[in-house]
Structure 1
Amino acid sequence: MINDKEIVLTEVMNHEYSTLLRTAQSYVKDVMIAEDMVQEAFLKAYEKFDSFQQGNSLRAWVFRIMINQCKDYLRSYTYRKVSPWEDQWLHVVQADQQNPLAIMVEKEDNEMIHEAIGLLQPNYHEAVQLYYFKELSVKQMSSALHMNENTLKTRMKRARDHLGQCLSTHKEKVYSA
């Protein structure tokens, strides 16, 4: 018999799986391991569902579990001693009606932005991921990270400043070459 927690978690999984996967991949830098992190996060959410405090955002709670799962993995012996397999063949580019030059420019811009985000300090990276990619409000981020809202706003400002600086430096290099 399906109970309420299965229904609620299934709904979160159906709506948030792709964003959870992208976030996990930004942490662990490997698609297959990211899939494992998301699956383990849902298993842990299922097991610990009774400890979820009503009134809080379930979505933010699941993201917090997944982020902690990724951090634990990055601290683990397995990650530090085994080099991950590069799964470049899994990346499939879908062509659309744009011209090839526009597709290439957009792809390079996206890669540059993701690379710049990946180089952020972990605290800034986490704030950017939750705010821009998970679309959590500052209040939701505050409850998920157990942090003051003003601290998060400061981190977001510093992250934006750093990203702007990195991207403008990169563009200067490209156009001067």
Structure 2
Amino acid sequence: MACKNGQQRAQATVYDMYYKAMYNTAYRIVKDAMEAEDVMQEAFLKAFSKLDSYRGEVAFGAWLKKIVVNHSIGRYRMLMAQSTNPLEEVLYKVEAIDDTDDEANDYTNMKAQKVLEIMATLPDNYRIALTLHLVEGYDYDELCEILEVSPGNCRTTISRAKESLRNKMKLIWN
């Protein structure tokens, strides 16, 4: 792979393929556009410098996403430790999914957008767990490793987060 040899053109091609998805992943966790951009850039730098450790056991995108998620959680924890009032940061704008002319897709996208906005109001541990599980597709074993929690704690957190999300959705849609 040309990226392993440090060829900038190859690295730029890989960056172009993945930057948008990796930015969105980081943004959903850190809740700040500038921080998400920084996290994404740092993750790409780390990935390119650690390409020798990529063994191809999983897709490159999955390997890169794990780096982004780990950096995002670390950055988010650091920001929360520095923050004097994390409640001010609970609500954040979720970027629009994709504009389309199809009315059915527009309605579905609006509902998905609303669910993501409601998720943004959940407590941080619920929001991050649900984002990683439902949006990013991590299974329970991966979540336990990423969040550094026991399997029982992970399942309880996901269950409570889903219940909280359902309750908030009922209030809005009823």
Structure-1-length-normalised TM-score: 0.65
Q: CA deviation at 1:27?
A: 3.5
- 1:74-93 matches, within 5 Å, as 74-76=80-82
Which residue is equivalent to 1:120? 122
- Describe the superposition over 1:76-113 as per-residue Cα deviations: whole angstroms up to 9, x where unpaired: 57xx9xx9xx999x9696232326xx72x434423321
Shift of residue 120 of structure 1?
1.3
User: Within 5 Å, which residues of 2 pair with 1:133-152?
Assistant: 133-152=135-154
Secondary structure of the residue aligned to 1:131 is helix
Structure 1 unmatched runs, 5+ = 173-177
1:66-81 aligned within 5 A: 66-76=72-82
Mean Cα displacement is larger for which, 142-151 or 132-141? Answer: 142-151
Q: Deviations over 1:112-163 (max 9, x none)?
A: 2112111111111111111111111111111222221221111111011000
Which residue is 2:42 aligned to? 40
**Quick one: distance in 2 between partners of 1:5 and 1:28?**
29
User: Residue 95 of structure 1 aligns to a residue in which SS?
Assistant: coil
Deviates more, 1:34-43 or 1:55-64: 55-64
Per the alignment, residue 165 of structure 1 pairs with 167
Larger radius of gyration: 1
Q: Give the CA RMSD over aligned residues.
A: 4.1
| Counterpart contact for 1:30–1:87, Cα < 8 Å | no
User: Which residue of structure 2 aligns with residue 175 of structure 1?
Assistant: none
Identify which of structures 1 and 2 has the higher relative contact order when contacts are C-alpha pairs closer than 8 Å and 6+ apart: 1
Q: Secondary structure at 2:24's aligned position in 1? A: helix
**Identity, % of aligned pairs?**
20
1:94 matched to 2:96: no
Structure 2 residues not aligned, in runs of 5+: none
Q: Tell me the TM-score normalized by structure 2.
A: 0.66
Contact 2:130 2:161 in 1 (8 A): yes
